[in-house]
Structure 1
């Protein structure tokens, strides 16, 4: 089973125990959680799965092939057929062994014909054989001289000089050159793994050993054929799914895919090829959309597409300074903005003074419903609905944009890491705390992005208030860490910055875990109430 990295429960019992970016208090992180020599964050395995995690197994293509081979050998032993025939039978039944066994036991000939193992004519039971009449001629028997054998003429290319031919169980013979061109085209151009006989109206399929023989050492096409077989196997299993990331051939085995389970669980998995290859096993939505359910995430994305004109306006990268009205472009992930013209410091999300965000008060994440019962007519109600949607969409899109800007942040961070090495005695391993902090910021921004989609559909209640409290704490922690990462590097402050960034990284991760754990517990307890019907959720 794979799971996210974890830290001990006793890391921080209270927010005050953390080192704050402004107060400079000493860190309370224990040696068990931090590396004494490098301050790198250590992974502590608890062995206990969290509520927001699911059981799954990452699989390489070779491991998926082993699963296929095991099913083929099992069916081959049960039916007493060779492996190639067993493979064709399983593909015909979409790799459902139980259904194949039931059907095959009822009428093996019919199933074999339908699966392309044998011709349909041979599959039907033969009629009674007519007796032959034996006659003896009184005249002398003359030996019939066989005529000279006729040269083979390929029915496809009509070449009568071919001496090498191949045929399937149906007996339709063709030259090997035509077979090679036909099979290669089917695999490389059509992406087809079910390759039928070239005979007109013939339903017999080419078994794997025949395909590989015809390809005659073409390893590239043979590899593509094997990949198609694996993809067919994975697509036929509800417990298997390929990693959606480009060029990744890994898969994941997970048993959380039913509609009932998706109403209480967000099955986020990782293929194991790359730590960033995280995706939802239960739906085709790109990436990790925890903590929001698949059905709610689908509704949110559909609403964003429906309101495309509004979304396009919101997505603009420029805003006006709230003090001097100069146009400002956001060029980093941090929401702490400073107008170059008037030096006004404000929040990119709410456009409010940044000074207020540095205090204990922080409510940038919360939608202020000013209209309430004052929406007396349709126009004001529509305006109120639009303003509410824009509030959540603006913050959702902002975190999405900040996550995309993390690529630039990684580049800036690497330069700072090199600068730290040049100006101090720190090694490359010892400055990895900067990269780990960026990784955590990127992960938490993904969580925050989807919390706004969830908050939009949550019914107003005390539970939503608690949800937004956790959301606020996580968001403020992420902004503090993000600002630390973008602060200038000075040689004399590097040790302090290193300690602050390391402590803040651990705290941000803890806040993210609290957010995900509480939401998952709410699903399990049926605590969340929606303001619109949600598929599969009571």
Structure 2
């Protein structure tokens, strides 16, 4: 994809819709940042063209072969236009950070200077090769024994092959250098090309050298970034620029399924923009002792003070001792969650008379931070617990097949529910960092309403998701879980679309968090 290609914004589809996706992997396979559509056991699905949403970003996934092919194509073009060796064309392109147009323009104006600046100065010898030269003595190791193999690039500075190999081993293995390996002679700026290196080193070092060259290709291009997932070798191309990161959160998804922000490389943090995420994470780190206390796995029952351990993602807690039902996040009565009294996501500001002196203001500031951090950390913890529960639920799914007579495909609704819980909790987690820095205006109340609706739906789904196998075998519960999964995904889309639209329009007003 050329650097001047228009990168617009794509959309997230309804969980029950199929449509064409602007985001593709390099082999042409559709791949967007939309959540993978769950298989709910339907045989027919309505084909509906999806509506564009502000919070989706257009991107493209490249595999290692695609990245190599891009480099080879550029090298072939420069080789053909300038009529120079492919190895030299590669060195020139790396010098110009793979900007083919600027390379050709500058080369046509002043070829000698361009070659010298790139490390391809005048040649004093023929093509590089291993040679045995009578009377040669290596200036590095001072060896001059007969039959000693030596090597020199076109600059003519000759050293024995063993010293050259040690030099290259240090540069590649220890220093991680590849694109700008210069002649060992002090002051010589001649760059070693790939063909010369192949004459000297083992295949293992050759492979490492080419891996490093490929890394420089991706790192040199502003629109390309490596997928940060462990052991993933794919790269993502995205046209979002740094100057746009205050009005868009460019979440992309690699073919390895890892979702991350193209702007900062962190895991998906929609709806919070990168600068806000950076500030929030720094604040959490600075208040680490408080954060550690808040994120502890145990709390006391608000009625009988018995110690209770959270062992699932659902926030509906029932004390085993006194049977009191309460919310893990706000410790309030669970009976009020799901009614108009639900206010768990909002922080109630104190009036001015309650915060007159500096100490009181400091206490209010801490309470406010703890309100948002507690909910942020809770959704992070719940997402991990939901994931642990689903690992165990895979065994349940096998039992469910036997108990209900459903096929393996038909029990995949639990997989869809688990995925929805993970994704929605990730979004909810970051809504609390987002809310911490929001100024309280009319838009804030609308945001909190959307946040509340999503949170209530997620808690309801989480509670259903943890039911035992004999209850999951009930066809009525299956339909309820499928419906709630769809509803959670829709509420997430509504929340993200609203926050993204207002972010793009500069409508949000921010505070310093106090």
If the length of structure 2 is used for normalisation, what is the TM-score?
Answer: 0.86
Aligned residues of 2:253 and 2:260 also touching (Cα < 8 A): yes
Name 1:473's counterpart in structure 2: 453
CA distance in 1, matches of 2:62, 2:434: 31
Question: Once superposed, what is the RMSD of the aligned Cα atoms?
Answer: 2.8
After TM superposition, list the pairs within 5 Å mapping 1:448-487 onto structure 2: 448-487=428-467
Aligned residues of 1:6 and 1:44 also touching (Cα < 8 A): no
After TM superposition, list the pairs within 5 Å mapping 1:415-430 onto structure 2: 415-430=395-410
Name 2:213's counterpart in structure 1: 229
**Post-superposition shift, 1:94?**
2.5
CA distance in 1, matches of 2:147, 2:159: 9
Answering whether residue 247 of structure 2 is matched by residue 240 of structure 1, we say: no
CA distance in 2, matches of 1:201, 1:178: 18
Name 1:289's counterpart in structure 2: 269
> Whose radius of gyration is greater, 1 or 2?
1
**Post-superposition shift, 1:386?**
1.1
**Is 238-247 or 371-380 further displaced after alignment?**
371-380
Aligned residues of 2:387 and 2:418 also touching (Cα < 8 A): no
Answering whether residue 285 of structure 2 is matched by residue 305 of structure 1, we say: yes
CA distance in 2, matches of 1:475, 1:187: 51
Name 2:190's counterpart in structure 1: 204
CA distance in 2, matches of 1:246, 1:185: 26
**Post-superposition shift, 1:474?**
0.2
**Post-superposition shift, 1:120?**
9.6
Answering whether residue 49 of structure 2 is matched by residue 46 of structure 1, we say: yes
After TM superposition, list the pairs within 5 Å mapping 1:74-93 onto structure 2: 74-93=77-96
Give 3-state SS (helix, strand or coil) of 1:405's partner: helix
**Post-superposition shift, 1:35?**
6.8
Name 1:27's counterpart in structure 2: none
* Superimposed CA distance per residue, residues 129-182 of structure 1 (whole angstroms, 9 cap, x where no aligned partner): xxxxxxxxxxxxxxxxxxxx8343344441524454332111123343443343
**Post-superposition shift, 1:76?**
2.8
**Is 355-364 or 343-352 further displaced after alignment?**
355-364
**Is 428-437 or 407-416 further displaced after alignment?**
407-416
Q: Figure out how many residues of one structure are paired with residues of the other and give that number.
A: 479
Give the unaligned 5+ runs of structure 1: 12-32, 123-148, 534-538
**Post-superposition shift, 1:39?**
4.7
After TM superposition, list the pairs within 5 Å mapping 1:247-258 onto structure 2: 247-258=231-242
After TM superposition, list the pairs within 5 Å mapping 1:75-474 onto structure 2: 75-118=78-121, 150-157=134-141, 158=143, 160-193=145-178, 194-216=180-202, 218=203, 220-259=204-243, 261-272=244-255, 274-275=256-257, 277-284=258-265, 286-474=266-454
Aligned residues of 2:15 and 2:490 also touching (Cα < 8 A): no
CA distance in 1, matches of 2:205, 2:11: 38
CA distance in 2, matches of 1:119, 1:407: 62
Give 3-state SS (helix, strand or coil) of 1:253's partner: strand
Aligned residues of 1:114 and 1:120 also touching (Cα < 8 A): no
Name 2:129's counterpart in structure 1: none
Aligned residues of 1:153 and 1:162 also touching (Cα < 8 A): no
Give the unaligned 5+ runs of structure 2: 1-6, 19-36, 126-132
Aligned residues of 2:226 and 2:233 also touching (Cα < 8 A): yes
Give 3-state SS (helix, strand or coil) of 1:227's partner: helix
* Superimposed CA distance per residue, residues 302-334 of structure 1 (whole angstroms, 9 cap, x where no aligned partner): 221222222222222221110111222211111
CA distance in 1, matches of 2:310, 2:39: 35
If the length of structure 1 is used for normalisation, what is the TM-score?
Answer: 0.82
Aligned residues of 2:461 and 2:484 also touching (Cα < 8 A): yes
Give 3-state SS (helix, strand or coil) of 1:376's partner: coil
Aligned residues of 2:171 and 2:181 also touching (Cα < 8 A): yes
CA distance in 2, matches of 1:472, 1:348: 15
**Post-superposition shift, 1:75?**
2.9
Aligned residues of 1:168 and 1:197 also touching (Cα < 8 A): yes
Aligned residues of 1:61 and 1:250 also touching (Cα < 8 A): yes
**Post-superposition shift, 1:478?**
0.5
* Superimposed CA distance per residue, residues 202-246 of structure 1 (whole angstroms, 9 cap, x where no aligned partner): 221111122223235x1x332222221111111111111110111
Name 2:506's counterpart in structure 1: 526
CA distance in 1, matches of 2:475, 2:16: 27
CA distance in 1, matches of 2:236, 2:414: 31
CA distance in 2, matches of 1:328, 1:436: 30
Aligned residues of 2:223 and 2:238 also touching (Cα < 8 A): yes
CA distance in 1, matches of 2:421, 2:199: 53
